[in-house]
Amino acid sequence: MKQQLLLLEDVEGLGRKGDVVTAKPGFIRNFLLPQKMAVPADKGTLKMQARLKEEREKLAAVDRKEAEALAVQMGSLVITTEVKVDADGKMYGSVSQLEIARLLQSKGYQLERKNILIPQAIKSLGTHTINLRLKEGVPASFTLEVQPEGGPLPKKAPEALAETPSV
């Protein structure tokens, strides 16, 4: 049986601060209540709900403004990473969300893996546009250049076609 709760903090996949939500008893007992992220919804907590929603709206406005400024700043950002490749230029591994998050952190941007929107890991050399979802759903993007380790690959000379005698 699900129980109604008033969220005291944003909970990923459940709701935002001030929302009245329902959740399964185990999730409530083992996570939400011990972490003080929610309280059981009753008449007394409904008064608290209005105050929490007001706080959330103020915080959301600040977060949106910061995220929009960051999105503008990231629009011109170009990050380069080097990967190991074989003689044909094929990558041995791939560039995942986690590696992109680490690259961004090395440049001073504190983003988590969940903010990086790529459908799958990058498995090819070249320039890629990486889409991001910042706080309050603000979209952003930057350019990631994936280059071979040790500089560009040497160009292969065109191989002469071996003529085979036709019988």
Q: Give residue-wise pLDDT tens across range 23-77.
A: 999 999 999 999 999 998 888 787 788 888 888 889 889 989 999 999 999 888 9
42, 69, 96 - which closes a domain: 69
Per-position DSSP letters for 119-164, written without gaps between them: SS-B-SSEEEEEEEE-GGG-EEEEEEEEEETTSSPPPPPPPPPPP-
Beta bridge partners, 20, equal 6
Residue 102 has what pLDDT?
94
**CA–CA separation, 55 and 145 (whole Å):** 41
User: Both 53 and 101 in a single domain?
Assistant: no
User: Both 115 and 141 in a single domain?
Assistant: yes
Helices (H), ranges, the chain? 25-27, 43-74, 97-106
Tokens of 68: 């929009």
Q: Assess if residue 26 is contained within a domain.
A: yes
69, 96, 117 - which closes a domain: 69
**CA–CA separation, 25 and 39 (whole Å):** 13
Residue 64 has what pLDDT?
92
**pLDDT bracket for residue 154 (50, 70, 90):** low
| Residue 23, phi then psi, degrees to nearest 5 | -150, 165
CATH at 120: 3.10.430.100
CATH at 23: 3.40.5.10
Tokens of 139: 């979209």
**CA–CA separation, 154 and 159 (whole Å):** 15
Residue 78 has what pLDDT?
93
pLDDT higher than 50, residue 109: yes
| Residue 8, phi then psi, degrees to nearest 5 | -95, -15
Residue 24 · residue 15 · CB < 8 Å = no
**CA–CA separation, 98 and 77 (whole Å):** 18
Q: Assess if residue 156 is contained within a domain.
A: no
Higher-pLDDT residue of 140 and 137 is 140
Residue 159 has what pLDDT?
52
pLDDT per residue as tens digits for the range 70-107: 999 988 899 999 999 988 888 888 999 999 999 999 99
- State the residue range of the domain holding 39: 3-69
Q: What is the mean pLDDT of residues 116-138?
A: 91
Q: What is the dihedral of CA 5, 50, 12, 144, to 10 degrees?
A: 180
Number of structural domains in the chain: 2
**pLDDT bracket for residue 149 (50, 70, 90):** confident
Q: Assess if residue 62 is contained within a domain.
A: yes
User: Both 62 and 90 in a single domain?
Assistant: no
